């Protein structure tokens, strides 16, 4: 049907999240839910940055050299409080200026718990969808990645910054979470220089995923152990394909893997 190197699925939000996988042709993955699909890995991994073959994928799609040098895999990707883009510094100052020295948001997302995270303003709601959040709210709007990271660090005292992926895939949601209440409950507990960035936008975005049946138990699949993965696609959430027997495949984890889908 289609083949190529995997990259994370593109997403859009209508009444339900829509997923597209870009290979030799564009696949609307929502169309395959309820049908049997087969994914075959041919043993090849290409670095998503330089294109060279690599025996292992580092940091979701890089060869070791690019993982060590590319700005897309710099330490501030995982620890934004270390970002130096606003100082005109970094692995690639021009890239940093374009991607990190621009407006970011700090947000709260709900699933089995309240999670704090950051993303560029132009990545809303993509980032929330990729994490499999059930709902999300903007907490603050800041001018750059560094300020977003500084605020995220302060908020870790109150909220987790990790997604419990197995609970997310089982749709184990804490229905008692009120994101607006959670947002304003910390208003008096943060330094004034952080509070100046707080957003008055209290809109809560609800995210509805295309899943027919959520698994009771989750079993993660990988191409390294199982080069051929087949089954009836029960749904998609986050960047995971969910099969009707509880197996799940993290597409983003396999970035750069050359596969054929039929």
Q: What is the pLDDT along the chain (262 residues), one digit of tens a residue?
A: 899 999 999 999 988 999 999 999 999 999 999 999 999 999 999 999 999 999 988 988 999 999 999 999 999 999 999 999 999 999 999 999 999 999 999 999 998 899 999 999 899 999 999 999 999 999 999 999 999 999 999 898 888 888 889 999 999 988 899 999 999 998 888 777 778 899 999 999 999 999 999 999 999 999 999 999 999 999 999 999 999 999 999 999 999 999 999 9
Question: What pTM was computed for the model?
Answer: 0.93
230/250 same-domain check? yes
Final residue before a domain boundary, out of 182, 206, 230: 206
Q: Is the peptide bond before 202 cis (omega within 30 degrees of 0)?
A: no
200/230 same-domain check? no
Instruction: Sheet containing 135-142: give its strands across.
Output: 114-120, 104-110, 135-142, 204-206
* Confidence (pLDDT) at 41: 98
43/115 same-domain check? no
In a domain, 199, yes or no: yes
202/216 same-domain check? no
Final residue before a domain boundary, out of 167, 183, 206: 206
Instruction: Sheet containing 26-28: give its strands across.
Output: 10-13, 17-22, 26-28
**116: exposed, middle or buried (Cβ count in 10 Å: 0-12, 13-18, 19+):** buried
* Confidence (pLDDT) at 60: 82
**191: exposed, middle or buried (Cβ count in 10 Å: 0-12, 13-18, 19+):** exposed
In a domain, 97, yes or no: no
219/184 same-domain check? no
Decide: 110 and 146 in contact? Cβ < 8 Å: no
* Confidence (pLDDT) at 157: 86
Decide: 197 and 209 in contact? Cβ < 8 Å: no
25/116 same-domain check? no
31/121 same-domain check? no
In a domain, 65, yes or no: no
By DSSP bridging, strand 219-221 and strand 247-250 are parallel
111/200 same-domain check? yes
In a domain, 76, yes or no: no
216/156 same-domain check? no
196/238 same-domain check? no
Q: Give the separation between CA 39 and CA 25, rounded to whole angstroms.
A: 15
196/107 same-domain check? yes
Domain count, the chain: 2
Domain that holds residue 176: 103-206
63-70: which pairs have CB atoms within 8 A and are 24 or more residues apart?
none
Tokens standing for residue 221: 């699949």
* Confidence (pLDDT) at 162: 83
* Confidence (pLDDT) at 189: 80
């Amino acid at each position: 049907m289609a083949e190529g190197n995997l990259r994370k699925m593109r997403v859009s939000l209508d009444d339900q999240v829509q997923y597209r996988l870009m290979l030799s042709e564009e696949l609307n993955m929502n169309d395959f839910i309820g049908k049997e699909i087969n994914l075959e890995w041919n043993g090849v991994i290409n670095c998503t940055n330089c294109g060279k073959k690599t025996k292992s994928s580092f940091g979701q799609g890089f060869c070791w050299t690019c993982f060590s040098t590319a700005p897309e895999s710099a330490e501030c990707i995982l620890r934004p409080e270390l970002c130096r883009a606003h100082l005109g510094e970094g692995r690639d100052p021009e890239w940093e200026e374009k991607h990190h020295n621009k407006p970011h948001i700090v947000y709260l997302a709900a699933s089995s718990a309240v999670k704090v995270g950051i993303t560029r303003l132009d990545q809303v709601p993509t980032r929330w969808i990729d994490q499999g959040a059930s709902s999300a709210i903007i907490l603050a709007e800041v001018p750059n990645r560094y300020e977003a990271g500084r605020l995220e660090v302060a908020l870790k005292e109150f909220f987790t910054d990790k997604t419990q992926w197995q609970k997310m895939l089982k749709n184990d949601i804490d229905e008692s979470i009120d994101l607006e209440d959670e947002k304003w409950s910390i208003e008096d507990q943060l330094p004034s220089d952080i509070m100046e960035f707080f957003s008055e936008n209290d809109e809560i975005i609800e995210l509805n995923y295309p899943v027919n049946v959520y698994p009771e138990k989750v079993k993660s699949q990988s191409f390294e152990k199982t080069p051929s993965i087949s089954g009836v696609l029960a749904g998609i959430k986050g960047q995971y394909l969910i099969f009707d027997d509880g197996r799940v495949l993290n597409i983003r984890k396999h970035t750069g893997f050359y596969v054929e889908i039929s």
